[in-house]
Amino acid sequence: MRTVSLKRTPLIRRRALICCLACCVTVLWAPAGAAQGGRLEIEYTVKVADIPGQLFHVTTDIRNIKQPALELSLPAWSPGWYVIENYAKNISRFRVTEPGGRQLRPALARKQTWRIDTRGISRITVEFDYRANVLAAHQARIAPDFAFFTGTQLFLLPEGHRSRPSVVRLDVPSGWRVASGLDETADPTVFTAPDYDTLVDQPTLMGQFDVTRFMVEGKPHDLVANPAGVFSAEKTSTLIGHLTKLAETQGRIFGGLPYRKFVYFYFFRPAEAGATVLEHQNTYVALARAEAQPDDMVAQASHEFFHVWNVKRIRPVQMWPYDYARENETPLLWVSEGFTNYYAALARYRAGLRDGRSFVDEVARAIAEVEGNEARRYISAADASTSTWIGYNNPPPFSISYYTQGRNLAALLDLSIRHDTRGASGLDDVMRTLFTDFYQRGRGFSTEDLIRVINRITRSSYEDFFRRYVSGTDVPPYETIFGYAGYQVERSTRKFPNLGANLNEMGRVTSVPPGSDAGAARLQPGDLILSIDGQTLEGQGGGAVFRLLNEKSGQNIRLRIRRGGEERELAIAVGSVELVNYRIVDAKSPTPEQLKIRESWLKR
């Protein structure tokens, strides 16, 4: 800081100098004040306006407009749920006014984008009603005892001002509580967001619910459960213990937790549409049955929590930044979702929530699921990622899951990297590098970036691996790669129960092969089996569906399924099909080098 010393001078000269300094101070300070006052200010108010009519009333107050026209857009989709929802279809009574109440006429520039003539206007107020009548992780809902939304449904983006902070005010019925992923203020009904992307990626729940706070690494974590009183204190305590271990375990990979607080939103109610779970920057939303047991909620929790890093921060370049107006196609969802699937299982093992044998068996089941699907011979992991928008919520009959194939590839890459580095590095190092070199530098990563990271860590070339197994459909050398860790891959033919549809281990229909009998039974992709002849799958863990169906082989059974938000019963015959089963077993005489790789892979 510069200082100015005044010498004794004649009065006139002194006054002239003081006047000159005052002008200098004015000149120095004026631009800063003008810059602060000249930036757009945005404030949103969300009112639970009509509970029987299920209407939010949303007000957007925008000040310091200094441009001849302003475009306001509403997202067409929610990141993590790769389906165009066109949320503007729920809007009614859209109106724009300037101070004094004069109504302005907005023009629809594109679907869900309104252009307003703002010549000579520095402030506008936008109001609309939003119908919130679907309970799902990607939708909004108003009920007698709660109201729920995520920012993608309600908050307009002033185009060109994406980085501007905003304030959110909530107007809720008397006695209602509020929980949100947004930044809190001294007023429990007022929240802030540093930018638009943070604003729209945060869920908010208002109403009656239970909330239990616990601390991990000195940061608050809130378990929010609705309806109040449904999830018992004993279950809550057990689940919090699991969630704490998962947060600590996953945080260690990256050197800590990258948020100030985390909120777990659990609705113990049936979903009314497709998305029963969805991840966000520092929250996730899950819908579960009221009878859900904490041990059976861990796998899903581990997956959604790992998204804090993978996809929310470590993101494909095609999604950096998100384009909320249209499909964001990327060939890298096998990393964003498949690696997350892999780490969901690995973190449970490292956290002590399962044993090593169970983890390895789960890796083997992923191989069987991939290799037992004829479509994998035609569709690569990269292509399945790019085409996800064709049928994310209703997969085509002839398709593969990049969740499972990506998980399979993650295990193979992890072991290959450990082999190439003699156990010194693994997939953890790849994820850390993507976090520090890409997310923390404000950019997304490409397939070529990922290959370069792996090449640098291993000092080997992985171009051929990606050409053959990621963009190609070659069958990976399972025996060789698992052999690095002293394992053998055993194949055997077994009869498996068959409903004419492909199921995952949680009982969800992933696809219906062409020409199958599932059409007669009316099974559809996305259906979730809830019970078999009255025996519920709830609380029985992954794979229970196959055990129960095995017991019913050759019989006619009644399935209770959930399709969208509805539960229904189907009558269906249980057939059988011969499939190749995979097991990963210990080699008879593993070498010290192989055991070193295995030890590094299974180190907790």
pLDDT tens digits, residue range 172-218? 999 999 999 999 999 999 999 999 999 999 999 999 999 999 999 99
CATH for 108 = 2.60.40.3650
Shared domain for 417 and 448, answered yes or no, is: yes
Cα-flanking dihedrals φ and ψ of residue 58, to 5°? -115, 130
Q: For residue 270, is it within any domain?
A: yes
Q: What is the DSSP letter of 133?
A: B
**Looking at 190, 206, 222, which one is the last position of a domain?**
206
pLDDT above 80 (res 385): yes
Domain count, the chain: 5
Q: What is the DSSP letter of 309?
A: T
Q: Round to whole Å and give the CA distance between 311 and 303.
A: 12
Q: For residue 303, is it within any domain?
A: no
Whether pTM exceeds 0.75:
yes
Q: Round to whole Å and give the CA distance between 473 and 487.
A: 24
Shared domain for 322 and 437, answered yes or no, is: yes
Residue 578: what pLDDT? 82
Contact call for residues 80 and 86 (beta carbons, < 8 A):
no
Q: How far is CA 495 from CA 373, 491, 577, 585, in A?
A: 15, 13, 5, 21
Q: For residue 301, is it within any domain?
A: no
Residue-wise pLDDT tens digits, 92-118: 999 999 999 999 999 999 999 999 999
Q: For residue 311, is it within any domain?
A: no
Shared domain for 217 and 350, answered yes or no, is: no
Q: For residue 310, is it within any domain?
A: no
Shared domain for 472 and 326, answered yes or no, is: yes
Q: What is the DSSP letter of 289?
A: -
At residue 504 the predicted structure's pLDDT band, cuts being 50, 70 and 90, is: confident
Shared domain for 368 and 453, answered yes or no, is: yes
Shared domain for 167 and 251, answered yes or no, is: no
Shared domain for 45 and 153, answered yes or no, is: yes
pLDDT above 60 (res 19): no
pLDDT above 60 (res 320): yes
Residue 8: what pLDDT? 34
Residue 517: what pLDDT? 55
Shared domain for 344 and 479, answered yes or no, is: yes
Q: For residue 412, is it within any domain?
A: yes
Structure-model confidence comparison of residues 435 and 5, the more confident one: 435
**Looking at 175, 206, 237, which one is the last position of a domain?**
206
Q: Round to whole Å and give the CA distance between 264 and 246.
A: 13
At residue 33 the predicted structure's pLDDT band, cuts being 50, 70 and 90, is: very low
Q: What is the DSSP letter of 379?
A: -
Residue 250: what pLDDT? 98
Arithmetic mean of pLDDT over the chain: 91
**Looking at 151, 177, 206, which one is the last position of a domain?**
206
Q: For residue 155, is it within any domain?
A: yes
Residue 542: what pLDDT? 58
Contact call for residues 400 and 375 (beta carbons, < 8 A):
yes
Q: What is the DSSP letter of 440?
A: G
| Residue written as token pair 């990922």 | 450
CATH for 270 = 3.30.2010.30
Q: For residue 308, is it within any domain?
A: no
Shared domain for 503 and 445, answered yes or no, is: no
Residue 20: what pLDDT? 39
Residue 68: what pLDDT? 98
Quick one: what percent of the chain has pLDDT higher than 70?
A: 92
Residue 576: what pLDDT? 86
Shared domain for 260 and 336, answered yes or no, is: no
Shared domain for 43 and 127, answered yes or no, is: yes
At residue 541 the predicted structure's pLDDT band, cuts being 50, 70 and 90, is: low
Show the 3-state SS of 402-416: HHHHHHHHHHHHHHH
Q: Round to whole Å and give the CA distance between 48 and 500.
A: 46
Beta-carbon contacts of 311 under 8 Å, excluding residues fewer than 6 positions away, are 79, 80, 279, 336, 337, 340
At residue 13 the predicted structure's pLDDT band, cuts being 50, 70 and 90, is: very low
Residue-range definition of the domain harbouring residue 243? 209-295
Quick one: what percent of the chain has pLDDT higher than 90?
A: 79
Shared domain for 202 and 285, answered yes or no, is: no
Closest by alpha carbon to 156, among 237, 213, 75?
75
Residue-wise pLDDT tens digits, 483-503: 999 999 999 988 878 888 888
Q: Is 199 exposed, middle or buried (0-12, 13-18, 19+ CB in 10 A)?
A: buried
